[in-house]
Structure 1
Amino acid sequence: MSRLMKSPLAGRLGWLLALWAAGVGTVFVFACLMRLLMRAAGLSS
Protein backbone atom coordinates (compact mmCIF):
# COMPACT_ATOMS: atom_id res chain seq x y z
CA MET A 1 0.00 0.00 0.00
CA SER A 2 2.85 2.39 0.76
CA ARG A 3 4.17 1.90 -2.79
CA LEU A 4 0.87 3.15 -4.17
CA MET A 5 1.00 6.24 -2.00
CA LYS A 6 4.58 7.02 -3.10
CA SER A 7 3.83 6.80 -6.82
CA PRO A 8 3.93 10.18 -8.54
CA LEU A 9 0.76 11.89 -9.62
CA ALA A 10 1.79 11.82 -13.28
CA GLY A 11 2.14 8.03 -13.15
CA ARG A 12 -1.27 7.55 -11.60
CA LEU A 13 -2.87 9.91 -14.12
CA GLY A 14 -1.10 8.03 -16.89
CA TRP A 15 -2.61 4.74 -15.74
CA LEU A 16 -6.03 6.36 -15.47
CA LEU A 17 -5.72 7.71 -19.01
CA ALA A 18 -4.52 4.34 -20.33
CA LEU A 19 -7.41 2.47 -18.72
CA TRP A 20 -9.92 5.04 -19.98
CA ALA A 21 -8.52 4.83 -23.52
CA ALA A 22 -8.63 1.02 -23.40
CA GLY A 23 -12.28 1.13 -22.34
CA VAL A 24 -13.25 3.61 -25.03
CA GLY A 25 -11.31 1.60 -27.62
CA THR A 26 -13.05 -1.60 -26.59
CA VAL A 27 -16.48 -0.02 -26.93
CA PHE A 28 -15.49 1.41 -30.34
CA VAL A 29 -14.32 -1.98 -31.64
CA PHE A 30 -17.48 -3.68 -30.35
CA ALA A 31 -19.67 -1.03 -32.00
CA CYS A 32 -17.85 -1.44 -35.32
CA LEU A 33 -18.25 -5.21 -35.18
CA MET A 34 -21.94 -4.87 -34.43
CA ARG A 35 -22.32 -2.45 -37.35
CA LEU A 36 -20.59 -4.91 -39.69
CA LEU A 37 -22.78 -7.77 -38.50
CA MET A 38 -25.93 -5.73 -38.94
CA ARG A 39 -24.92 -4.72 -42.47
CA ALA A 40 -24.14 -8.36 -43.29
CA ALA A 41 -27.64 -9.29 -42.10
CA GLY A 42 -29.19 -6.64 -44.33
CA LEU A 43 -30.15 -4.22 -41.57
CA SER A 44 -28.55 -1.11 -43.05
CA SER A 45 -30.59 2.05 -43.37
Structure 2
Amino acid sequence: MATIEMREVKSRWYKRLGWLLLIWSGSVVSLAVVASLLKLAMYAAGMRIH
Protein backbone atom coordinates (compact mmCIF):
# COMPACT_ATOMS: atom_id res chain seq x y z
CA MET A 1 0.00 0.00 0.00
CA ALA A 2 1.43 3.37 -0.99
CA THR A 3 1.49 6.35 1.29
CA ILE A 4 0.94 9.87 0.13
CA GLU A 5 3.34 12.40 1.50
CA MET A 6 1.69 15.76 2.11
CA ARG A 7 3.88 18.79 1.79
CA GLU A 8 2.82 22.12 3.13
CA VAL A 9 3.29 24.69 0.43
CA LYS A 10 3.58 28.24 1.69
CA SER A 11 2.68 30.85 -0.84
CA ARG A 12 4.50 34.12 -0.99
CA TRP A 13 3.16 37.01 1.08
CA TYR A 14 2.60 39.21 -1.96
CA LYS A 15 0.47 36.53 -3.62
CA ARG A 16 -1.69 36.27 -0.51
CA LEU A 17 -1.92 40.05 -0.30
CA GLY A 18 -2.84 40.17 -3.99
CA TRP A 19 -5.67 37.69 -3.49
CA LEU A 20 -6.87 39.64 -0.45
CA LEU A 21 -6.95 42.89 -2.42
CA LEU A 22 -8.63 41.19 -5.39
CA ILE A 23 -11.38 39.68 -3.25
CA TRP A 24 -11.85 42.92 -1.28
CA SER A 25 -12.08 45.08 -4.40
CA GLY A 26 -14.47 42.59 -6.00
CA SER A 27 -16.75 42.75 -2.99
CA VAL A 28 -16.66 46.56 -2.96
CA VAL A 29 -17.53 46.70 -6.67
CA SER A 30 -20.36 44.19 -6.29
CA LEU A 31 -21.76 46.14 -3.33
CA ALA A 32 -21.66 49.33 -5.41
CA VAL A 33 -23.50 47.59 -8.26
CA VAL A 34 -26.21 46.29 -5.92
CA ALA A 35 -26.60 49.71 -4.29
CA SER A 36 -26.89 51.38 -7.70
CA LEU A 37 -29.51 48.87 -8.83
CA LEU A 38 -31.52 49.45 -5.65
CA LYS A 39 -31.28 53.20 -6.12
CA LEU A 40 -32.41 52.86 -9.73
CA ALA A 41 -35.34 50.63 -8.71
CA MET A 42 -36.40 53.08 -6.01
CA TYR A 43 -36.17 55.97 -8.46
CA ALA A 44 -38.28 54.03 -10.98
CA ALA A 45 -40.88 53.32 -8.28
CA GLY A 46 -41.31 57.02 -7.65
CA MET A 47 -39.13 57.43 -4.59
CA ARG A 48 -37.30 60.56 -5.61
CA ILE A 49 -35.13 62.77 -3.45
CA HIS A 50 -36.60 66.26 -3.18
TM-score, normalised relative to structure 2:
0.79
Q: How many Å apart are 1:38 and its aligned residue?
A: 0.4
More helix by percentage: 1
Aligned residues: 43
CA RMSD of superposed structures (Å): 1.2
What is the identity percentage for the equivalent residue pairs of Structure 1 and Structure 2?
42
Q: Where in structure 2 are the equivalents of 1:1-45 lying within 5 Å?
A: 2-3=8-9, 6-45=10-49
Give the TM-score, by structure 1 length.
Answer: 0.87
Which of 1 and 2 has higher RCO (CA within 8 Å, sep 6+)?
Answer: 1
User: Which stretches of structure 1, 4 residues or longer, exceed 3 Å deviation after superposition?
Assistant: none
2-structure distance, mates of 1:8, 1:41: 50
1:1-45 CA deviation, whole Å, 9 max, x = no partner? 712xx2100000000000000110111000000000000001011
Which structure 1 residue ranges, 5 or more long, are not aligned? none
